[in-house]
Amino acid sequence: MYMRTLLLGAAGAMALATAAFAERGADGEVKVLYWQAPTTLNPYLSSGTKDVEAASLVLEPLAGFDDKGAIFPRLAESIPTVDNGGISQDMTTVTWKLKKDLKWSDGTPVTSADVAFTYQYCTDPNGGCAQAASYEGIKSIDTPDAETVVVTYTGPKPYPYAAFVSALAPIIQKAQFEKCIGAAAPTCTEQNFKPIGTGPFMVTDFKTGDVVQLEANPNYRDPAKPAFAKMTLKGGGDAEAAARAVMETGEYDYAWNTQINPDLQSQMSAAGKGHFVGGFGSLVERIEMNQFDPSPDLPEGERSTAKHPHPFLTDLKVRQALSMAIDRQALVDVGYGAAGKPTCDLVPAPEGYAANTTDCLKQDLEGAKKLLDEAGWKMGADGVREKDGKKLHILYQTSTNPVRQDIQTLVKGWWNEIGVGVDLKNIDASIYFGGDAGSPDTFEKFYADVEMYANNFNGTDPEAYMTQLLCSKIPGPDTQWQGENIPRFCDKDYDAKIAELSKTADLAKRQELVKELNNMVSAKGLVTMAIVHRGTLSAASNALDGVAINPWDTEIWNAQDWTRKK
């Protein structure tokens, strides 16, 4: 008995010691710069990264992804799996258990009713919920007790970590949002601007598009955290000015998304006040090879549709030659610096899913010429190859953006060298990505031979991403040009493998399948020609400890662990 008391006392003393060592709010204020300022703190009303990340300081999901891409519990006690019984054998139900004694920042308990409400809120047909995709395939949500949530899917869901997982799908408080469902959502300004959450911070003031002021949440589950009593998240300006405020003037501790050119990166690092932090998620800059003919000679409504296959980009040899002619490392050096890596894969990460193809990394202009010769494309008098009276001439489009225009110019030079004629075109991003079915310039319509943009997937599982390339998802006039299969790739074997993937729960097997799919469409098939694996690049002050940039979830996922360097 005596011994036990002694031990308990010792343990208590140790707990006290660590508490004294790291005390909530001991480090004063931390200042963060998001040059694109958050406009709302309700991630269900805006899909913008700036809004989702700012809200992640306040609102938390059941589970999130860490900086390595591994899933870890946040509000949940543990991650449900088939092995621990959290996922049913037939993979249709998932049971989440909440941590004990969780409290909202207003002191009221977090219950399973809040989780069920969150689902209800986002799936209301009139709400226009930005994260509705996270809750797709859910049949019902049951709450047998205050700490248990049972999610039932309409069919087997081998990878169920989208609903209530990651900063895109956090839990909101039922009591606060009860009257804000559906069409009423935008009338709840107070709620959307100052959501009550469970995260390390709570909002004290929010000026939309300008600044968020936060304070340490007194009810945060770890009594020693966060180390900062206050956080200011300021917006405005541009990436370069944001980087300067951390790296050169030292006015801010952390600046988000400071993508600036490689020269400036090294120049600012030399000031010695801060350092750039980067992480590589799934974002890939790619050149899509249109499998359908976009020729303007075709009648409107038939351009870039299945009626007319592309005259030469359907030939693998031509695509290979185009890929071989590109020096991907040079593109990285010119455009991205530390925030880019050359890649041949549509899925270059996470680790297990990446095929790590290296064939394309070395530029081979002679080889490219030889391939075109073999394919029957003979050099014409004007330096452009031709075959059966058809010129090897490409229209190459992308959005207006200085880095993309640099890349276009470089690629055009290499392609010209192997005898391919190239016309460049750039389109304002608000039109290119605007999805207006009436505009000829959207990237979905793809009225060009090749086009460049970047895309990624949420979280760490690429299933939905790979599913975008099913034959049935090709955009066309009958679907108002909606559809995510931009290169118009269509392969029965690919579709079959997708069907298999949707039934496979075993991780190793899934990874193998994704690699095969990746090879079919990009690494070997080159319909989607991956060129640069793009990372996030942010700036952190040298006086800030604990920054671990996370490309898989919100970048500031561990703000509760940040401390001031003493």
Partner 1 sequence: MLTFILRRLLIAVPTLLLISLAIFLLVDLAPGSPASQIPLTVPPEVKAKILAAMGADQPVLVRYVLWLKQFFWVEPAYWIDSRFGTNLADGAQRIISYQTRAPVFITIGERIPQTMTVVGAGYLIGILIAVPIGIYSAYRQYSWFDQAGTFFAMMGFSVPTFFTGVLLIVIFATKLHWFPSVYDTTLLVTDWSSFVAQIRQMVLPVTVLALFNAATISRYMRSSMLDNLGQDYVRTARAKGMGEGTVVLKHVLRNSLIPVVTVIALGIPSIFGGAIITEQVFKVNGLGAALITAINANDIPMVQTLTFIFAALIVLFNLVADVLYGVLDPRIRYA
> Which residues are 126's β-sheet partners?
none
Contacts (Cβ under 8 Å, ≥6 apart) of 402: none
Binding of partner 1 by 488 (CB under 8 A): no
CA neighbor of 277 nearest in space, from 350, 362, 339, 349: 339
CB 559 within 8 A of CB 214: no
C-alpha to C-alpha distance for 439 and 445, rounded to whole angstroms: 8
Nearest distance from residue 49's CB to partner 1, in Å? 7
Binding of partner 1 by 248 (CB under 8 A): yes
Stretch in the footprint of partner 1 (CB under 8 A) among 180-188, 287-295, 304-312, 506-514: 180-188
- Return the H-helix or E-strand segment holding 52: helix 49-55
The pairing of beta strand 393-399 with beta strand 421-427: parallel
Nearer to partner 1, 34 or 312 (CB): 34
Binding of partner 1 by 369 (CB under 8 A): no
Binding of partner 1 by 330 (CB under 8 A): no
Binding of partner 1 by 287 (CB under 8 A): no
C-alpha to C-alpha distance for 297 and 294, rounded to whole angstroms: 9
- Map the footprint of partner 1 across residues 103-162, applying CB under 8 A: 125-130, 132-133
Alpha helices in 421-503 (DSSP H): 429-432, 463-467, 492-501
Stretch in the footprint of partner 1 (CB under 8 A) among 22-30, 145-153, 423-431, 517-525: 423-431
Nearer to partner 1, 140 or 187 (CB): 187
Nearer to partner 1, 132 or 403 (CB): 132
Nearer to partner 1, 309 or 440 (CB): 440
Nearest distance from residue 430's CB to partner 1, in Å? 3
Nearest distance from residue 297's CB to partner 1, in Å? 24
Nearest distance from residue 222's CB to partner 1, in Å? 27
The pairing of beta strand 230-235 with beta strand 29-34: parallel
> Which residues are 564's β-sheet partners?
544
C-alpha to C-alpha distance for 325 and 509, rounded to whole angstroms: 34
C-alpha to C-alpha distance for 66 and 431, rounded to whole angstroms: 35
Neighbours of 452 (CB within 10 A): 23
187 exposed, middle or buried (CB, 10 Å; 0-12, 13-18, 19+)?
exposed
Binding of partner 1 by 219 (CB under 8 A): no
Contacts (Cβ under 8 Å, ≥6 apart) of 323: 344, 360, 526, 529
Binding of partner 1 by 410 (CB under 8 A): no
User: x-or-dash pattern for partner 1, window 10-49, by CB under 8 A?
Assistant: -----------------------x---x-xx-x--xxxxx
Nearer to partner 1, 93 or 397 (CB): 397
Stretch in the footprint of partner 1 (CB under 8 A) among 5-13, 140-148, 239-247, 306-314: 239-247
Alpha helices in 40-171 (DSSP H): 49-55, 112-123
Binding of partner 1 by 457 (CB under 8 A): yes
Binding residue (CB under 8 A) for partner 1 from 8, 10, 146, 183? 183
C-alpha to C-alpha distance for 420 and 411, rounded to whole angstroms: 11
Nearer to partner 1, 120 or 295 (CB): 120
Binding of partner 1 by 472 (CB under 8 A): no
Nearer to partner 1, 421 or 459 (CB): 459
C-alpha to C-alpha distance for 563 and 260, rounded to whole angstroms: 27
Binding of partner 1 by 88 (CB under 8 A): no
C-alpha to C-alpha distance for 393 and 385, rounded to whole angstroms: 8
Nearer to partner 1, 127 or 199 (CB): 127
Binding of partner 1 by 534 (CB under 8 A): no
C-alpha to C-alpha distance for 293 and 283, rounded to whole angstroms: 27
Binding residue (CB under 8 A) for partner 1 from 176, 398, 458, 460? 458
355 exposed, middle or buried (CB, 10 Å; 0-12, 13-18, 19+)?
buried
Cα torsion 35, 37, 41, 47: sign:
negative
Stretch in the footprint of partner 1 (CB under 8 A) among 11-19, 84-92, 235-243, 337-345: 235-243
Binding of partner 1 by 252 (CB under 8 A): yes
CB 98 within 8 A of CB 149: yes
Nearest distance from residue 455's CB to partner 1, in Å? 5
Give how many residues touch partner 1 by CB under 8 A: 64
Binding of partner 1 by 398 (CB under 8 A): no
- Map the footprint of partner 1 across residues 424-453, applying CB under 8 A: 428-436, 439, 441, 453
Nearest distance from residue 74's CB to partner 1, in Å? 21
Binding of partner 1 by 484 (CB under 8 A): yes
Binding of partner 1 by 349 (CB under 8 A): no
- Return the H-helix or E-strand segment holding 421: strand 421-427
HSE value, Cβ hemisphere, 13 Å, CA-based, for 106: 14
Contacts (Cβ under 8 Å, ≥6 apart) of 266: 337
In the complex, the residues that contact partner 1 under the rule CB under 8 A are 33, 37, 39-40, 42, 45-49, 125-130, 132-133, 183, 185-187, 189, 192-193, 205, 207-211, 213, 232, 234-238, 241, 244-245, 248-249, 251-252, 428-436, 439, 441, 453, 455-458, 482-484
